[in-house]
Amino acid sequence: MQRIQNDIKSGQFQPVYLLFGEERYLKRQYRDKLKSALCAPDDNMNNHFYEGKNLSVGEVIDLAETLPFLAQRRVIFMDNSGLFKSGGEQMAEYLKNQNESTVLIFTEAEVDKRSKLYKAVQSQGCTVEFAPQDEKTLKRWVAGVLGKEGKKIAESTVLQLLNKTGTDMENIQMELEKLVCYCMDREVVEPGDVEAVCTTRVSNHIFDMVTAIAEKRRKDALQLYYDLLTLKEPPMRILFLIARQCNLLLQARAMKSKGLSNKEMASVLGVPPFAVGKYLSQASRFKSAVLRQALTKCVEAEEAVKTGRMNDVMSVEILILSVFEEAC
């Protein structure tokens, strides 16, 4: 990220940039910074945008070889092209002798760092990975965003917000906008404000549902399921998320027994390090055998729906009750 900042400050740009990783908000922010620095606002002749995997590499190369029209450079943006997973060999070869008046900017969700194209960009230009941010960074960022709006928020309230929203900064940004509007006449954002207007992720509902099962709160577990249905969540997606949660808890138990650190566990589980404690706490409430049995029941529930023996809503409801009985 610092290299992009330095390039913008100096006005000396790389011939090709690759912005990749899970953190969509930061990728978009830095892509837009490059766009503002490289592109004249109303220049539609020299700024080009491609999105998706259907782009023609030959067409892009032909365009890149075309000299800019009454401008210093031609800029080509490519979002989620998939070329860093497969099919990028032709582009990798082109980068060896790229037109000096063209800048290529790739924004990708996933890349294969072993691919020829990744290595070519790394050699000829700039690659920046945007990973999910840690708790300390997110807390500082949330306080900063609200501070610019004249609002204050306690650290405990920030954590409450992050527990509801997760670590996706794009999602957090939307929830912060709602909070600013809701607290328009007040300086301090209170915990009640977060509860009132911030949306809880579906995965959080699943986590709470599994916690309710562990704590033998049958009514609460079913109510959370009905709440998800009210929110138009498909029953089969809820089934998938229940299975995923059980699998994560099994992994958490296994990793704890091996003595892995929270950071190592977070990497495997795909959650921020500050959330690992929650998963370990929930995992400790179930025996491994119960979690494995729950996974088997998830497979059976899916099969019952696919074969027409049971409708999807009832199948997941029965699953929740059967897992509840095993946990008890």
Tokens found for residue 198: 């911030």
Mean pLDDT within 242-258: 91
pTM given for the model: 0.69
Per-residue pLDDT of 225-241, as tens digits, reads 998 888 788 999 899 98
Residue 328 is predicted with a pLDDT of 52
Report in angstroms the alpha-carbon separations of 115 from 64, 81, 86. 22, 14, 8
Encoded tokens for 271: 């959650």
- How long a stretch of residues is the chain? 328
Residue 121 has pLDDT above 90, yes or no: yes
Condensed to tens digits (0 to 9), the pLDDT of residues 271-300 reads 777 778 888 998 998 889 989 999 999 999
pLDDT at 49 over 90: yes
Residue for token digits 């995923």?
Answer: 244
Report the 10 Å Cβ neighbour count for 177. Answer: 12
Q: Is the pLDDT of residue 44 over 70?
A: yes
For residues 297 and 288, what is the distance between their CA atoms, to the nearest angstrom? 14
Distance, C-alpha 232 to centroid of its chain: 21
Residue from 213, 184, 295 nearest 250 by CA = 295
Cα separation values, 122 from 14, 78, 96, 129, Å: 11, 17, 12, 12
Do the Cβ atoms of 253 and 265 come closer than 8 Å?
no
Q: Which domains does the chain possess?
A: 2-129 (3.40.50.300), 135-197 (1.10.8.60), 202-327 (1.20.272.10)
**pLDDT tens track for 69-100:** 988 999 999 999 999 998 899 999 999 999 99
* DSSP assignments along 109-136, one per residue: S---TTSHHHHHHHHHSEEEE-PPPPHH
Note the pLDDT of residue 325.
66
Which DSSP state fits 97? Answer: G
Q: What mean pLDDT, rounded, does the chain reach?
A: 90
Position 105 pLDDT exceeds 90 = yes
pLDDT at 218: 85
